[in-house]
């Protein structure tokens, strides 16, 4: 810190105006014992070329999916992102856009939002889509809030097979409201249908079921959602949007609200975020939808235009009338999803989903053929699966790291009964050679054991 009068004329004038002579006087309110008394030991300044070289050298210490083979999943996946996605979302008119308050100046971003809503409705089979929520976890909580607003009931049923972090966020949302969150136990890796029937009461506001679930297993929602028939309890499906390219949409099985995380759709993993959450629902619940909705209209000259049709956030209307307290948005992430879906198209999305499915089943069959690796569940799965491996997590991580492999995820932290059970995720990026390397590495490790 400079304890002498500053030589710069402008600085001197500023200090004079403030009625002080020394720069240190600006910090008089800070106790002396916590002030830095010595000069910081900083390196000499670098030129731009030297600085870039230093940063590149340091960045090589990072472990990422650019230099590792990833089998990590559990809500955040290593999918291929076409170059066109980053190119378009980096255009200044999109990259800097925030909330399009003035429709006449924001037609481009409003149209992209409208197109996104349209594609999400087609994907999920629902009537209405909002623009976005923060992530998959908050989309679950907001859907539950929405259900409570619709039927005024005070109990939420949620499957134990949904992402543990989603359940934690839901409980955090509901605790101040004194809303009961009851977890439906699982049975053999899927939701126990018998427990749904036992715990479905008049005060049940909604039932939240994942598809696929946290373990990658496919839930029998065609058998689960009919259980709610006649109960006025809303059916909420939390889905992997990519899986819907292969599976029937939740709307076909009676879902009232469909939510999930959109990272899969053209967004990078990026240290776990940011991503975006999506929410689609039946038309009759339009007025209870959180966030905002873009609509298409026609101006006085007959030209198509786009406007914010519904924006029931608390910053737009009275707090007690608001459908949620979402005061920001994930528009850039949503735009990435819009570009991604537009680029790959219906057939491309199907091919990607099918490749994920085939890769996962190839790896699963090869792994369970190894002595010391056993299947954990007998359910059908999409692109994630759980197996028992006769190695503790620290040892397994060390063995795979030497081969440049990330994953799998040890489930014991979240599910204490699932000791030595590991969750593998397989995307379209995984080649046969990469999967065979994993198979060979585990085979040799278990033979030595």
Structural domain spans, the chain: 1-38, 69-79+345-448, 83-341
What pLDDT, in 10s, does the model give residues 60-91? 888 889 889 999 999 999 999 999 999 999 98
Asked if residue 308 lies in contact with residue 103, where contact means CB atoms within 8 angstroms, the answer is yes
- The whole-number pLDDT of residue 181 equals 97
- pLDDT range class, residue 276, cuts 50, 70, 90: very high
Q: Mapping DSSP to helix (H, G, I), strand (E, B) and coil, where does residue 126 land?
A: coil
Q: Pick the closest to residue 5 from 18, 21, 19 (CA basis).
A: 21
- Phi, psi angles (nearest 5°) of residue 244: -70, -10
Asked if residue 182 lies in contact with residue 213, where contact means CB atoms within 8 angstroms, the answer is no
- The whole-number pLDDT of residue 315 equals 58
Q: What is the mean pLDDT of residues 165-171?
A: 98
| Cross-strand partners of 306 | 296
Q: What is the pTM of this model?
A: 0.88
The DSSP output letter for 42 is P
Distance CA 306, CA 294 (A): 7
Q: Pick the closest to residue 71 from 442, 349, 412, 320 (CA basis).
A: 442
Asked if residue 308 lies in contact with residue 152, where contact means CB atoms within 8 angstroms, the answer is no
- The whole-number pLDDT of residue 371 equals 96
Note the maximum CA span of the chain: 81
- For residue 203, what are the CA distances in angstroms to 87, 181, 233? 49, 12, 8
Looking at domain 83-341, which of 3.20.20.70, 3.40.190.10, 3.40.640.10, 3.90.950.10 is its CATH number?
3.40.640.10
- pLDDT range class, residue 97, cuts 50, 70, 90: low
Asked if residue 366 lies in contact with residue 170, where contact means CB atoms within 8 angstroms, the answer is no
- pLDDT range class, residue 327, cuts 50, 70, 90: low
Q: Mapping DSSP to helix (H, G, I), strand (E, B) and coil, where does residue 205 land?
A: strand
Distance CA 428, CA 264 (A): 12
**Domain 69-79+345-448, CATH:** 3.90.1150.10
Tokens 């909604």 map to which residue?
Answer: 206
DSSP 43-80: PPP--HHHHHHHHHHHHTT---TTTSEE---TT-----
pLDDT higher at 402 or 21: 402
Distance CA 424, CA 386 (A): 6
Distance CA 296, CA 103 (A): 11
Residues above pLDDT 70, as percent of the chain = 94
Q: Pick the closest to residue 140 from 275, 254, 279, 331 (CA basis).
A: 279
pLDDT higher at 448 or 32: 32
- Phi, psi angles (nearest 5°) of residue 50: -70, -40
- For residue 98, what are the CA distances in angstroms to 296, 297, 332? 19, 22, 8
Residue 329 above 80 pLDDT? no
The total number of residues written for the chain in this structure: 449
Asked if residue 423 lies in contact with residue 74, where contact means CB atoms within 8 angstroms, the answer is yes
Distance CA 161, CA 190 (A): 6
């Amino acid at each position: 810190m400079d304890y002498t009068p500053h030589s710069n004329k402008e600085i001197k004038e500023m200090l004079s105006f403030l009625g002080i002579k020394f720069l240190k006087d600006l910090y008089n309110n800070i106790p002396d014992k916590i002030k830095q008394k010595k000069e910081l030991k900083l390196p000499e300044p670098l030129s731009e070329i030297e600085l870039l070289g230093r940063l590149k050298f340091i960045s090589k210490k990072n472990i990422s999916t650019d230099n590792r083979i990833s089998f990590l999943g559990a809500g955040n996946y290593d999918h291929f992102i076409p170059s066109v996605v980053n190119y378009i979302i980096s255009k200044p008119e999109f990259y800097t856009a925030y909330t399009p308050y003035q429709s006449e100046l924001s037609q481009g971003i409003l149209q992209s939002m409208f197109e996104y809503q349209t594609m999400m409705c087609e994907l999920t089979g629902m009537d209405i889509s909002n623009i976005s929520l923060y992530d998959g976890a908050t989309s679950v909580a907001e859907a539950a809030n929405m259900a409570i607003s619709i039927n005024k009931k005070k109990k939420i049923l949620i499957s134990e097979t949904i992402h543990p972090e989603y359940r934690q966020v839901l409980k955090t949302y509901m605790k101040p409201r004194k809303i009961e969150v009851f977890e439906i136990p699982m049975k053999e890796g899927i939701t126990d249908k018998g427990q749904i029937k036992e715990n479905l009461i008049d005060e049940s506001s909604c039932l939240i079921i994942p598809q696929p679930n946290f373990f990658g297993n496919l839930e029998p929602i065609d058998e689960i959602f009919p259980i709610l028939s006649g109960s006025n309890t809303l059916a909420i499906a939390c889905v992997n949007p990519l899986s819907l390219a292969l599976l029937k949409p939740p709307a076909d099985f009676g879902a009232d609200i469909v939510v999930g995380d959109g990272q899969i759709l053209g967004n990078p993993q990026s240290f776990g975020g940011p991503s975006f959450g999506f929410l689609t629902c039946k038309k009759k619940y339009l007025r209870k939808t959180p966030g905002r909705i873009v609509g298409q209209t026609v101006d006085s000259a007959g030209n198509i235009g786009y406007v914010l049709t519904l924006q029931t956030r608390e910053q737009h209307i009275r707090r007690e009338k608001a459908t949620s307290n979402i005061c920001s948005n994930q528009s850039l992430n949503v735009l990435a999803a819009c570009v991604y879906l537009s680029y790959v198209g219906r057939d491309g999305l199907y091919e990607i989903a099918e490749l994920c499915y085939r890769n996962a089943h190839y790896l699963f069959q090869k792994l369970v053929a190894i002595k010391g690796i056993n299947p954990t569940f007998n359910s059908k799965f999409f692109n994630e699966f759980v197996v028992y491996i006769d190695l503790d997590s620290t040892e397994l991580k060390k063995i795979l790291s030497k081969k440049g492999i990330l994953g799998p995820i040890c489930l014991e932290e979240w599910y204490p009964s699932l000791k030595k059970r590991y969750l593998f995720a397989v995307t379209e990026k995984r080649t046969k050679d990469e999967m065979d390397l994993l198979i060979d590495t585990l085979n040799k490790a278990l033979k030595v054991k």
